[in-house]
Structure 1
């Protein structure tokens, strides 16, 4: 699947309502479950999730019907996490950085400037670090799938100036997700972070409540943030992924054979989405530059040194604990 500009534009014209599913089976499904997320319908996550839901419906002979609700239709991230825990929705994909409000160790994969490339990310997240985090999520009474979906490396955009050195961050009003790790990192870089839910990011940039934000290129494109930003610094300052979560009571109602089918298809879709995001990001710099974004590529070494000097790494090592930090450094290299 080629995630080019044409693909994004075609998908972005889709219905703002729940993504419709094909109805090849006449009988009513035994299990009709809602899957919600915060991303635009045109994002690879929702395109692959639609395929996933169709495959699950076919393989279970119509017994399991997963209905998609993209683009914050069912509320903010914090709203949807509450709904997932109460059973109002059955499935939800959430960044580990935001899940950390419930499962503190879930944000460790997003430590600033930890991972240099995807090879080190997948080594950690498909290996010991990912297994450790999934164990902590399970303790919070949620079911989590084996394969984390990709949100990509995050980049900094601004309406006022390019970010080339840590000094350029000083006083920058930047939107960050509602997560302590982000706030802590940008404060350590002397910026002025403001926690704002994703659904409100475009308007916050448009009205200059904040001057900048940070997200992967795929989200900058699909959410059209280039319309309200001038500069994009390819900082790769954090890697971010989405854990595919399920309400435990709803999951336990599925017979084991159906659980196996659902989990297999979710994990397979997640692997395809990883490839899609990598391909999309490879194409997007040129396309976003054509839309007016000016790109630069800062050296991460100075930013890492600033975080070390500000005590960021030592502070978070003490919060996560020696075991989790050792697993992070086994995949990412020495930080603190």
Structure 2
């Protein structure tokens, strides 16, 4: 019998690894394996020892006789179930960022707006051990959450990842010299405010990718790229993913889909002193009036303006009153006003404005 050219024994599940159990209804449960421990379900227990030392793709039963499939969690499973301080970039969008942004092994990548770390994980996988990802985040609490999620995902903090708390426009020139960055990914409210620093750091041929939530942000960033004269004609797109129900001849689209989460804009850095080619256009019948342009571009971009839920009116006053009551009821009378984490549900839109929050 001819021996196969490539073969290896299957990887077994070991202590300290994350596993994902799926019940007959499709509900998923993720936990870390530890000898002697048990996973508790509402209908019985599952011993970790029944899983350790075995391969993926097995079926284990709890003490109540309910069967569970056992696999290692995928990237998507981890991202949509991990703790989050800010909305995450959905896997459908991070996949486009990695592929269309040409994130290659060995690349030096700058990310602005680390959020909860979902996109950072995809970027780190793409650059490999020879590349590096440096993240910038305005809010220290988000940077802390992201660091914990990334360490959990990679079973330790990657040596080729670092995070700086601060504004990208101010800190990027202090961190990277001119032309030393291959890719820049912007996930923030006002990416156009960073273009001077980004264009300085990017190498000729490098790519800037922005992830924004609304049409005004999309339009304003694209026009800022064109006005800078340092980037080739930008590309703009969005991704929508629709699953399908397949059961014999009963084949139809799922009733729910992951539709709009954000827009992606990509542009390549021109060489210094070289102007980009102007895109040829058909003559336009009318041009926008100055007041129309001002109404479109001048209002301040805020979380509320792009649809992020914020307390206002009576609800805001009630929240302020409740917060004051809690402070007044402190035993020692002190005002311990620690910030609280805000967790987005997995079904909420990933808006991208993290660095500017």
> Which of structures 1 and 2 has the bigger CA Rg?
2
Larger helix proportion of the pair: 1
TM norm structure 1: 0.27
Q: RCO (CA 8 Å, sep 6+): is it higher in 1 or 2?
A: 1
TM norm structure 2: 0.26
